[in-house]
């Protein structure tokens, strides 16, 4: 089968399109013929081996897995021993961030991590849901009408869906991203948009009730200035050192009733099913920039790593 293979940590130029053996499912696994796989920031992190936690999961010195791609949509092609609840031909999706393997024609995945794709959702849209949709749902869970929310990195897959969910709840949304996305984010419903290359939101002298940060780059003292009393800041990604400084350094601001920490997303089948149903009910919809072949994986990863993608790019083997 064809797959995009990673031999070592580094830039996208090190990836290669190769023929490798079709995998065989082990016990409790199913094999799927991959229909679509989204390109996530987590793929970029596993590609370059940074932040450090990517190496803790993916291998300290070299990648444990040779194929990236974790939000997988596919048709069940073969069942491993002990698998119940799926049949050959079922269309399934799941978040396989700990295992990966989606940038290939076939992938073996844990049956307990997969769920059936609702008929109303296309392969391409379904691929955008597990990680990005789960983050958007978890990041907007406790919002109430009238709250002020800032989304840093609002123009990606998670940010655009979080924007939709927040606006549906009657929340005032400030979107932060680069200049190439400002008008587009306004058209999606953002109440105001900040170009982070021109203005640092922590230096504006303003406060928000909630801040959802896709990639943390600011310390707890800077963040605390931007939070209202009772406010909450949640970071999703960033360097290990920065995230630890936020978690530990943020403790001293608890006495000011300001919560600073990481967004913990309960990924898994239940959340993926919930996200899929929300799309069916038109509560949110992912924004798809492009559908590309396997040969485009290196360029798609590079654009994702640089933050240039509006919404998501999907690979179709």
Mean pLDDT by 10 residues, the chain (317 residues): 96 96 95 97 93 87 94 97 94 93 97 95 96 95 96 96 97 96 95 95 96 94 96 91 91 93 88 95 95 97 93 96
Contact 105, 33 (CB under 8 A): yes
pLDDT at 278: 96
Give the per-residue pLDDT at 42: 93
- What is the pLDDT, as a whole number, of residue 52? 85
What does 175-190 look like in DSSP terms, one character per residue?
A: EEE-GGGHHHHHHTT-
Using an 8 Å Cβ cutoff, are 86 and 111 in contact?
Answer: yes
What's the pLDDT at 313? 97
Domains of the chain, each with CATH number or no CATH: 2-128+286-315 (3.90.180.10), 133-262 (3.40.50.720)
Q: What pLDDT sits at residue 56?
A: 87
Say what the pLDDT of residue 225 is: 96
Q: Cβ(213)–Cβ(153) under 8 Å?
A: yes
What the block records as the tokens of 12 is 């996208």
Provide the pLDDT for residue 54. Answer: 85
Range list of β-strands (E), 136-287: 148-152, 172-177, 192-195, 208-213, 227-235, 259-262
Closest C-alpha among 121, 195, 169, 282 to residue 186:
195
Question: How much is the pLDDT for 163?
Answer: 98
For the packed helices 297-305 and 41-48, what is the interaxial angle rounded to 10 degrees?
Answer: 100
Cα-to-chain-centroid distance, residue 285: 14
Are 157 and 286 in contact, with CB atoms under 8 Å apart?
A: yes
SS3 category, 77:
strand
pLDDT in tens, 94-105: 999 888 999 999
Measuring CA to CA, how many Å separate 251 from each of 56, 163, 188, 232? 25, 28, 35, 12
Measured between alpha carbons, how far is 189 from 184 in angstroms, rounded to an integer? 9
């Amino acid at each position: 089968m064809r797959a995009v293979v990673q031999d070592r940590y580094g830039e996208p130029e090190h990836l290669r399109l190769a023929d490798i053996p079709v995998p065989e499912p082990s016990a409790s696994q199913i094999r799927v013929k991959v229909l679509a796989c989204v390109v996530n920031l987590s793929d970029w992190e596993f590609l370059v081996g940074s932040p450090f936690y990517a190496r803790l999961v993916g291998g300290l010195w070299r990648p444990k897995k040779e194929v990236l791609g974790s939000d997988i949509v596919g048709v069940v092609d073969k069942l491993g021993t002990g698998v119940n609840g799926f049949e050959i031909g079922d269309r399934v999706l799941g978040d396989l961030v700990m295992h990966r393997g989606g940038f290939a024609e076939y992938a073996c995945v844990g049956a307990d991590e997969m769920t059936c794709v609702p008929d109303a959702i296309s392969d391409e849209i379904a691929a955008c849901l597990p990680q990005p949709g789960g983050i958007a749902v978890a990041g907007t869970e406790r919002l109430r009408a009238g709250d002020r929310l800032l989304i840093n990195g609002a123009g990606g897959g998670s940010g655009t869906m979080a924007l939709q969910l927040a606006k549906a709840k009657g929340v005032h949304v400030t979107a932060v991203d680069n200049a190439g996305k400002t008008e587009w984010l306004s058209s999606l419903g953002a109440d105001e948009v900040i170009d982070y290359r021109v203005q640092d939101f922590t230096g504006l002298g303003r406060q928000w009730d909630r801040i959802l940060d896709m990639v943390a780059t600011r310390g707890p003292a800077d963040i605390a200035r931007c939070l209202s009393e009772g406010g909450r800041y949640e970071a999703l990604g960033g360097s290990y050192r920065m995230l630890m400084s936020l978690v530990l350094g943020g403790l001293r601001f608890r006495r000011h009733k300001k919560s600073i920490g990481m967004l913990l997303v309960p990924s898994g089948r239940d959340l993926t099913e919930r996200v899929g149903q929300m799309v069916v009910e038109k509560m949110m919809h992912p924004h798809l920039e492009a559908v590309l072949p396997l040969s485009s994986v290196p360029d798609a990863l590079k654009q994702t790593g640089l933050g240039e993608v509006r919404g998501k790019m999907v690979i179709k083997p």
